């Protein structure tokens, strides 16, 4: 990965105007779950180089994912889900 294409100096200040955050996914990952449509994400755990996010719906744990800084690989772990 290098400097982004929109990086420039305005006056004496280096600046990068990123894309509209709600218009596209930028240098990241988008996750979805077709079984659940109203999940909320919560920070479950963190360290110097990673974060673990937990998705829940109606107080039910749906899935966890651990994102590691500087890596395109992430660990996605599904929790036990009760199907009715």
pLDDT for 48-68, tens place per residue? 888 888 999 999 999 888 887
Whether the per-residue pLDDT at 36 is higher than 70: the answer is yes
pLDDT for residue 43:
93
Is the per-residue pLDDT at 20 higher than 50? yes
What is the chain's alpha carbon radius of gyration, rounded to the nearest angstrom? 17
Domain ranges, ordered by start, for the chain: 31-84
18 and 26 Cβ atoms separated by less than 8 Å: yes
At 21, the pLDDT band (50, 70, 90 cuts) reads: low
Give the model's pLDDT for residue 33.
Answer: 84
Residue 27 and residue 33 in contact, taking contact as beta carbons nearer than 8 Å: no
- pLDDT above 90 (res 42): yes
């Amino acid at each position: 990965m290098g400097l982004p294409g929109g990086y420039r100096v305005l006056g004496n200040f280096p600046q990068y105007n990123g894309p509209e955050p709600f218009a596209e996914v930028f240098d990241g990952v988008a996750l979805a779950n077709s079984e659940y449509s109203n999940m909320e994400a919560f920070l479950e755990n963190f360290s110097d180089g990673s974060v673990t996010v937990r998705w829940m719906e109606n107080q039910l744990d749906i899935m966890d994912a651990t994102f590691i800084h500087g890596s395109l690989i992430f660990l996605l772990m599904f929790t036990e889900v009760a199907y009715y």
